[in-house]
Amino acid sequence: MAATSTLRIALAQTDPTVGDLDGNARQVLDWTAKAAEAGARLVAFGEMQLTGYPVEDLVFRESFVAASRARVDALAVELAEAGLGETVVVTGYVDADGPARMDADSDPDRGPRDALAVIHRGRVVTRYFKHHLPNYGVFDEDRYFVSGDVLQVVRIDGIDVAFTICEDIWQAGGPFAVARGAGVGLVVNINASPYERNKDDRRAALVKRRAAEADATVAFVNIVGGQDELVFDGDSLIVDAAGTVLTRGPQFAEHLLVHDLTLPVAGAKPAAETDAGPPEMTVAHTVVTTETLPAPAETADGGIAEPLSDLAEVWHALVTGLRDYVRKNGFRTVVFGLSGGIDSALVAALSADAIGPENVYAVSMPSRYSSEHSRDDAADLAKRTGINYLSEPIASIMDAYLGQITLDGLALENVQPRIRGLILMGLSNQHGHLVLAPGNKTEYATGYSTLYGDTVGGYAPIKDVMKLMIFALANWRNEEAARRGETMPIPVNTIVKPPSAELREDQQDTDSLPPYEILDPIVEGYVDGDLGRAGLIAAGHDAALVDRVIKLIDRAEYKRRQTAPGPKISVKNFGRDRRLPITNRWVEKA
């Protein structure tokens, strides 16, 4: 039995803001104070805590990189001045040991680094540069960073701790294999790992696999909050070498997870094979001399947070994305058209949850095709949620417009959403509201929306939510309210009536689109699954329908490119995840 010692660790699940270096450093000071108060010897923050994540092309600006480097050094001094010098602080930031890579002649071994600093007694005692750089999905890290190849092992309270960053945990045979060779007791992995449905289960399995690979306890800390189209869900956790989850933090909430770890002291583990990691990777050792403190009177146990259900998780992701987009971009209020239909109803309920009903402005803009029940349902929703409700009928504006410009058919139908867009933009300019675009993923996919009409808006809260899931979320939110003994926010009639754009007499979505039960799986197969025509047909979809739907999706690329960002919840969102040419003659052949 190896000799062991106890290390009290704190994982700080914070919500940093891209570019707000001082505000983010303030978070480190504040949360380190809490960690020290709780008796933690080591506190770990997320990937790029100091700069926010992702910083994208800010990395190309020397001024930004220099500010990040200076901020981490200043933070070390500030921590010591605040009496927090004894706590070992681990934080992510952007470093550089050479200029950004601008062309093929750039030095492949030097440049900007996705970095981690270990801070103690007023200085950065060591720095680790991320080894595995993700370059798929929403990530472009090969564009920005140079990979590091030195695993940093720091001896803290007699325990050897290795440090890694996010993607390092996603690949076998990397820094975790090297950590095994180094015989460490603990690997800390700091993350900016964006939310996507079911990813929490994948991550937990991954942390277990890496703990086995390193033969060490692994502490995984993730940030929370929204950044443009990404949402970070926290869900920090610690797993021991045998794969047992020791503690797990909540999803979508700032939190300090404090836990006592019993770990082998340095040199106590039998020597392991050292050739399992990347051949270029070496190990550097640092010893941190810590003050001897009396053992704490009580054990710290972070507990295991109750996991959220799939729909609860999606709801929280949408609320978090919307709330942080509004807040971090300096808005207080939002405005959108409330039709009585399910999409804008869901946006209303999400907005009320995200920023409070008093900050939400919903505008009913009936035309002569708007049914009485739509207006009633919109007014009912406003009453149920307590949001601000305005009515601006558009018939007279339509008449004035059509008195001058002669249009018919689709051109005429599109005038209604465009007048509504004009009204919303006017209210936004006048009152400083952020305009929300209430389109869902099925609509974005098929182009079932009017450009510069119902697509207007600065943020699209349900852009990555398929229509069938819109219904499921509406039901979930109502059931949640009922469970809590609160008023259900969404009128039942809004959920049960057939969806309609109400742009002409008796119009229904199914006049132009297949029923959503059939349409959504085809869209998901083509967009999320990247299946081609043959793959969709092999999956059991009708060939003629597949041809029709993929034609709609291909044709709408130009429209999607002109739309606002919205929070990613799926494996492939319309945004950074899916990049297709607009000018494109590739067609899936029969």
Work out whether 362 is an interface residue with ligand GLN (CB under 6 A).
no
The residue to which tokens 């502490």 are assigned = 219
Find which of ligand GLN, ligand DND, ligand ATP, none residue 192 binds, CB within 5 to 8 Å per kind: ligand GLN
Q: Per rule CB under 6 A, is residue 206 in the interface with ligand GLN? A: no
Three-state SS sequence of 494-551? HHHCCCCCCCCCCCCHHHCCCCHHHHHHHHHHHHHCCCCHHHHHHCCCCHHHHHHHHH
Per-residue contact string for residues 485-514; x = within reach of ligand ATP by CB under 6 A: --------------x-xx------------
Please pick, from the candidates 53, 195, 325, 336, the single residue that binds ligand ATP as defined by CB under 6 A.
336
Q: Which of 24, 25, 34 is nearest to 255 (CA)?
A: 34
Give the separation between CA 71 and CA 91, rounded to whole angstroms: 11
Q: What is the CB-side half-sphere exposure of residue 155 using CA atoms within 13 A? A: 12
Q: Is the distance from CB of 527 to CB of 553 less than 8 angstroms?
A: yes
HSE-CB of 381 using CA atoms within 13 angstroms: 36
> With CB under 6 A as the contact rule, which of the stretches 28-36, 76-84, 166-174, 488-496 interacts with ligand GLN?
166-174
Among 170, 331, 369, 471, binds ligand GLN (CB under 6 A): 170
The reply on whether position 365 binds ligand ATP by CB under 6 A is yes
Sorted by sequence, the CB contacts under 8 Å of residue 114 that are 6+ apart come out as 47, 48, 92, 94, 129, 130, 133, 141, 144, 145, 165
Rounded to whole angstroms, what are the CA distances from 369 to 213, 381, 394, 534? 64, 20, 11, 41
Nearest to 390 by CA among 364, 357, 359, 352: 364
Determine, following the binding rule CB under 6 A, whether residue 166 of this chain makes contact with ligand GLN. Answer: yes
Between CA 568 and CA 560 the distance in angstroms is 15
Running DSSP on this structure, what letter comes out for residue 194? B
How many residues lie near ligand ATP (CB under 6 A)?
22
Amino acid at 451: L
Q: C-beta of 59: minimal distance to ligand ATP in Å? A: 37
Partner interacting with residue 451 (select from ligand GLN, ligand DND, ligand ATP, none; CB below 5-8 Å by kind) = ligand DND
Comparing CB distances to ligand DND, the nearer of 13 and 450 is: 450
Q: Would you say 261 or 445 has its CB closer to ligand ATP? A: 445
Distance CA 99, CA 84 (A): 33
Known binding residue 136? Answer is yes
What burial letters (b/e) apply to 164-190, b meaning 16+ CB within 10 Å?
A: bbbbbbbbeebbbbbbbbbbbbbbbbb
To the nearest whole angstrom, how small is the minimum distance from the Cβ of residue 136 to ligand GLN? Answer: 8
- Nearest approach in angstroms of CB 518 to ligand ATP is 17
C-alpha–C-alpha distance, residues 389 and 336, integer Å: 10
The closest of 31, 23, 14 to 79, measured between CA atoms, is: 31
Burial 98-108 (b: 16+ CB within 10 A, else e): eebbeeeeeee
Which partner, ligand ATP, ligand GLN, ligand DND, none, binds residue 166 by CB below 5 to 8 Å per kind?
ligand GLN
Site string for ligand ATP, 403-432 (x = CB under 6 A): --------------x--x------------
Piece in contact with ligand ATP (CB under 6 A), picked from 2-10, 47-55, 175-183, 357-365 = 357-365
Residue 47 touches which member of ligand DND, ligand ATP, ligand GLN, none, C-beta under 5-8 Å by kind: ligand GLN
Q: Least separation, in Å, of the C-beta of 42 and ligand DND?
A: 52
In the complex, which residues of this chain contact ligand DND (CB under 6 A)? 410, 413-414, 417, 443, 447-451, 453-454, 501, 503, 512, 558, 582
**Which residues are the active-site residues?**
47, 130, 166
User: How distant, in Å, are the alpha carbons of 352, 396, 435, 474 from that of 389?
Assistant: 13, 20, 15, 20
295: helix, strand or coil: coil
Binding range to ligand ATP, per CB under 6 A, among 58-66, 190-198, 243-251, 339-347 = 339-347
Regarding 200 and contact with ligand GLN (CB under 6 A), the answer is: no
Q: Supply the minimum distance, in Å, between the C-beta of residue 374 and ligand ATP.
A: 6
Q: How far apart are CA 53 and CA 68, in angstroms?
A: 13
62 labelled as ligand-binding? no
Which residue among 193, 367, 442, 449 contacts ligand GLN (CB under 6 A)?
193
Name which position in 134, 337, 525, 575 contacts ligand GLN (CB under 6 A): 134
* Residue 16 or 337 with smaller CB distance to ligand DND: 337
Q: Which does 370 bind (CB under 5 to 8 A by kind): ligand ATP, ligand DND, ligand GLN, none?
A: ligand ATP
* Backbone φ, ψ for residue 445 (5° rounding): -65, -50
How distant is the alpha carbon of residue 486 from its chain centre?
29
* Residue 221 half-sphere exposure toward CB, CA atoms < 13 A: 30
Helix or strand holding residue 222 (H, E) = strand 217-222
Does residue 317 belong to the site contacting ligand GLN (CB under 6 A)? no
505: annotated binding-site residue? no
Query: In whole angstroms, how close is the CB of 419 to ligand DND at the nearest point?
Result: 12
Our CB check for ligand DND shows the closer of 9 and 342 to be 342
In the complex, which residues of this chain contact ligand GLN (CB under 6 A)?
47, 134, 139, 166-167, 170, 192-193
Q: Which residues would be at the binding site for ligand ATP (CB under 6 A)?
A: 336-339, 341-344, 363-366, 370, 374, 417, 420, 438, 443, 454, 499, 501-502
Please give the annotated binding residues, written as ranges: 136, 193, 199, 337-344, 414, 443, 559
